[in-house]
Structure formats: C-alpha cells, structure tokens
Structure 1
C-alpha cells in the first residue's frame, strides 16, 4: 500500500480530530475527573470498532439503509444527550480513587461517545474509500484497516495531551474546572440534540 495514501489520510485525520466536537467535550470532562487514560482508550476502541465495521463492508450497508441509519442516529444522539446531561448535573471533579469501577465506566463511556456517533461512521464511509486503490496488491479490507490506524494513533495522542493539559491547568482552579465541565456537558447535550434534529426533522 502506498505510503502517500496513508500520509494523506493522516493529514485529513489530524484536521478532523482538531475540530472540537463530542470527543473534545468528553475528554475535557473526564480529564478533570482524573480519567484521561481510560477515556482516551475508550474513544480509540470505539473508532477501532467503526474501522472494523467499515472494513467489513457493514458501514456502507448502514449508510445506504435509511432505517438503520435512523436507528443509529437516535441511539447515538440519545446517548450523547444522556451523557452530557449527567456531566452537566455533576460538574465537580472526582478524585481518581473514588471507586474501582470508575476507570471501567469511563472507558465504556468513551466507547459509546465515538462508537455510537453516526457522523463518525459516515465520515469513515465517505473518506476511507477515497484513499484506497483497487489495483493495489493489498485487499480492500486490509487497506481500510491500515488507513484507520493513523486516525486512531493521532486520536490517542491528541486527546491524551488535551486531557492532561486540561487537568494540569484547571485542577488547581475548582471553580473554573466546574465551569468547563458544565460547558462540556452542555456541548455534548447540544450535539446529541443536533444529531436528532438534523436527521429526523424534514
């Protein structure tokens, strides 16, 4: 597989990751709660699942099925609304020792934020095939999987830095930390509502 295709997709991936969205809001809120690593691991795992789905050809089927896409949009939108509302309602940063299940719960929420986002699936369906070459010796699923790797690696590095920086800057400032957490929760709620309205309203 041509290194130029991988580099080109990595450049596009970096631009997509740098644009604030649900992943940003989730990372900011969990960064203040001491769960940066499990949060980012969850986000990357969700995108790994999306990459596998697209590589297996299921993504294109979902994108071409109005009912499947509507169902995914409703689930993803409601999940973001629920997670955003709970984050907004409990803005105080949590100590990393609050419980043994905290990291696991944060991980699962991260999987949900990235894996249940229909916009993310459609981006992969629309973008990944453009960087593949049907004449290449590598089979198409392998090319898609390889292209997904730089996206996941960049996602991990970017959000680890973002979450760590957020905690370092805001943890000594409880009032500012609560405000940022509330704003991130409101952003996730708004994004979830926008997903529903954008897809369901004529």
Structure 2
C-alpha cells in the first residue's frame, strides 16, 4: 500500500467517522446523562461491532449480505426497531441528572446498546464492503491491507466517540433545568426514531 492511497483514504475515512449517525447521537445522549467517561467507554461496543464487520469484509463474507436481499431486509428491520426502542426509552426518561446509577443503566447495558445499534445497521457493513475495498491493491497481501485500513478506521472512530461525548458533556452544562433536559431527551428520541424510520424505508443500492 503506497502513501498516495493512504492520503486519499484518511480524509474520506475521517469524514465517514465524524458524520452524524445513530451511534454518534447515542454518544451525545449518553454523555449528557452519564458523563464523558461512561459514554466514551460505552463506545467500545460499537468498536467491537465494526471490528467484526471489517473481519467479515476481509474474509469476503460480507458479499453474502451485499447480495442477499432477504438477509439485508432482516438486519435492516431489526436495526430500525431497535432504534425505535431506544427512542421510546429516551422519550419516557425522566429529567433527572444524577447519572447512570439512578437512571438504572449499567456499563454492560451501555456497551450492549452501542454494539446493537452498530451491528443492526446494514449500511455500516456495506461501508466496509464497498468503501474499504476501493483502497485495496489486489496485487498485494489483502489481509495486511485490510488490517491497516481497518485499524485506521477504528482509530478515527475512537476520536469520533470522544468528540461526540465531549459535545454531550458540553451540552449537559446548559441542561441543568429539568424541563430543558426532558426537551433534549425527547429531541434525541425524535432524531433516533427518524433514523430508524429512514433505515426502515431505505433501499439497498
């Protein structure tokens, strides 16, 4: 893999990582409710999901998802309804600001939530199916190239988790009023619900 390929890959990859999406929105919401540390650590759930998707793409198994309309629909539907579930939880959440213990969320639950949101979005694995291979040279060892590109993607994703969690903490300072916090929770719920609806109505390219 030459330097020119990496120079093309890095900005495009970083833009994908930093784009607003269900997981990044979830980091903001978790940071406002539980703090930066909890939101940042919970992001490990999505990293595990993305690492698995990169491994599938490297092994060529992601082609099964790319070509199977039934499997694509099943994953898409499950992911959409899980987003609806999270949106409903946020909508019903109280305006308290005491953190995870009072809210009843454990770190394992937050990790699982991040993992399922990432794994339930077929667009994510299609990114690894359609995006990463564009930067792979078939004449060179494929596994090594996927490892390098996948490692960079995960590194940028860690940065995205930190940035969005930091944004959430910044917002929390202005959400001391219970009514403001409830409005924020319901705004996040609406956006997540909209993301779920968009996912449900989307069609595979």
TM-score, normalised to structure 1, is 0.87
The 3-state SS of whatever aligns with 1:199 is coil
Q: Which runs of 5+ in 1 are unaligned?
A: none
Deviations 1:17-52 (A, max 9, x none): 222121222111111122212322112222112111
SS in 2 for 1:5: helix
Counterpart CA distance in 2 for 1:94 and 1:120 is 33
CA RMSD after TM alignment: 2.2
Matched residue SS, 2:4: helix
Structure-2 change in CA distance of 1:156 and 1:178 (3 Å): farther
Aligned to 1:84: 87
Q: How far 1:129 moved relative to its partner? A: 0.5
Q: Which residue of 1 aligns with 2:107?
A: 103
Q: How many residues align?
A: 198
The farther-off stretch of 126-135 and 97-106 is 97-106
Distance (Å, rounded) in 1 between the aligned partners of 2:104 and 2:3: 43
Separation of aligned partners in 1, 2:104 and 2:196: 29
Pick the aligned partner of 1:55 from 37, 58, 62: 58
The answer (yes or no) to whether the contact 2:28–2:167 under 8 Å persists in 1 is: no
**1:157-196 pair list within 5 angstroms:** 157-171=159-173, 173-175=175-177, 176-196=180-200
1:103: Cα distance to partner? 0.8
TM-score (norm 2): 0.86
